[in-house]
Structure 1
Amino acid sequence: MSKSIHKIINEQIQRWEMGNREDKPIQETVNVITISRESGSRGYEVAKQLCRETGFDLFHHEIVDAMVETSKSSRVLLETLDEKGMNIVDDIVSNFVSEHHLWSDEYSKLLFKILGTIGKHGNAVILGRGANCVLKKQKALRVRIVAPMIIRRDYIQKSLNLSKDDTQKHIVSTDANRSAFVKRYFNSDATDPANYDLILNTGTLSVEKAVQVIKCAIS
């Protein structure tokens, strides 16, 4: 785990702990957004721009996985919640595992708890890692970013400087790995529209317009 990721996690813990010391009003609006995306659909750009405009914190797969690893040796991340909050997260995990008939291992249990903890704290954009599955009953907006294959190929080829063949392999492999992850840990279909509240096509919408649509949806 890189020092930068360690620093990000430590800073996040400090923000959560400071937030728990303050009297915060009950928030009626959505303050957690999960973003699932097809490879090359510019979902990461949408997530970053959304965080810049809302002030939310961005949690992508590297940060979430690092939080899981941190929690294997320390409960400090989970303990940023009060007792009631921790009970709610435990309920999210147990209910999800029961409803989806999952046999959860150490990684999946911690993953569920980390996603639940992020969701409970709020003011977050969670990119990938099946967060839309875990937080579907929370006050969260579940978004999926898609785009036509020809546009995704062009974007990946230019951004990664790949050949046409390697670009196609990259897209197929990335999408397959993401779908397999969601199927394994959540027993869910990452491509099923019913798993999302909002599906945006960046083949017709710019990143800026996609962000504006999401902001309207949570206001």
Structure 2
Amino acid sequence: MGTYPDETLDKIIEKQIKRWQVDQKKKYKKPIRPVITISRLPGANASKIAKQLSKDLKIDAFDQEIIEEIAKNTKASKKVIASLDEQDISIVKEWLAFLSSERQVWPYEYIEQLIRVISAIGAHGHAVILGRGASYILPKEVCLRVLVVAPMEKRIQNVVDAYSVSADEAKRNVMRTESDRRAFIRRYFHADMMDPMNYDLVINTENCSVPVATGIITEAFNNRNWYNFSIDKMKR
């Protein structure tokens, strides 16, 4: 995983907060601003799909690396959380209370920060979030939860093509990363990452190109009824 120097991270956050501030000044008629969360098996081309969704839908994209860096940086986390208006703060508090009672998340400092950061991003809305348990943190009523998969052989070949490594090295990387991701979700969210019932949409990219996968997700996102959401309904 790459790292972000503090200066670069600050600039990224400042730029993002400015976009959020512009959105907050608009008069939204819709009760929520939904997001797309993407869980994925390594090598299944989910990052390419997330980038294309961001471009096509004109929404913000947050990958695993930037979310991790923000969550680990106390100053950065506070900036993101402080960007919320009073209404969004209230929503996030409701989400956190619900998440605590529903999933009984372990109270580790990093996980707590991670949850707050992703909740803040979710409250702002209009985003695609790649990885870091976002599908298990945000209420299912406010996000389209997508799982991107592919057979092992296909994923190994994708890694070989993307990083010019040997098939053996690619296989080791894919297997290790997959094990780490599944363990992360199991440990902190008490869930099976590969259970299809945890998602709204599962896409196998073995014979599905990035544009086709993006189109399927976009269609599902645009045609879902987002306007019946309420905290009370979420608690039922």
Please state which band the TM-score falls in when normalised by the shorter chain: over 0.9
Query: Corresponding residue for 1:192?
Result: 195
Paired residue type of 2:15: E
Paired residue type of 2:36: I
Is the Cα contact below 8 Å between 1:119 and 1:138 reproduced in 2?
Answer: no
Paired residue type of 1:150: E
Aligned positions of 1:31-180 closer than 5 A: 31-72=34-75, 75-180=78-183
Once the two structures are superposed, residues 57-93 of structure 1 have per-residue CA deviations (whole angstroms, 9 ceiling, x without a partner) of 1101111112223445762211221223112212211
Is the Cα contact below 8 Å between 1:93 and 1:109 reproduced in 2?
Answer: no
Q: Tell me by how many angstroms 1:184 deviates.
A: 2.3
Once the two structures are superposed, residues 3-54 of structure 1 have per-residue CA deviations (whole angstroms, 9 ceiling, x without a partner) of 43332211111111222223222156x7300011111100000001111111
Superposition TM-score, scaled by structure 1 size:
0.92
Is the Cα contact below 8 Å between 1:116 and 1:134 reproduced in 2?
Answer: yes
Aligned residues: 218
Q: CA RMSD in A?
A: 1.8
The change in CA–CA distance for 1:123 and 1:189 in structure 2 (over 3 A counts) is same
Separation in 2, partners of 1:57, 1:45: 14
Gaps of 5+ in 1: none
Question: Residue 129 of structure 2 aligns to a residue in which SS?
Answer: strand
Is the Cα contact below 8 Å between 1:136 and 1:142 reproduced in 2?
Answer: no
Aligned mate of 1:15, from 16, 19, 32? 19
Gaps of 5+ in 2: 223-236
Separation in 2, partners of 1:74, 1:115: 10
Superposition TM-score, scaled by structure 2 size:
0.86
For structure 1, which segment, 200-209 or 85-94, has the greater mean C-alpha deviation from structure 2 after superposition? 85-94
Once the two structures are superposed, residues 68-119 of structure 1 have per-residue CA deviations (whole angstroms, 9 ceiling, x without a partner) of 2344576221122122311221221122122222331221111111111111
Q: Report % sequence identity.
A: 37
Once the two structures are superposed, residues 181-215 of structure 1 have per-residue CA deviations (whole angstroms, 9 ceiling, x without a partner) of 21222121111111110001111211100000011
Separation in 2, partners of 1:90, 1:27: 17
Query: Corresponding residue for 1:6?
Result: 10
Is the Cα contact below 8 Å between 2:13 and 2:76 reproduced in 1?
Answer: no
For structure 1, which segment, 166-175 or 89-98, has the greater mean C-alpha deviation from structure 2 after superposition? 89-98
Once the two structures are superposed, residues 112-144 of structure 1 have per-residue CA deviations (whole angstroms, 9 ceiling, x without a partner) of 111111111111000000100111333210001
* Deviation >6 Å, runs of 4+: none
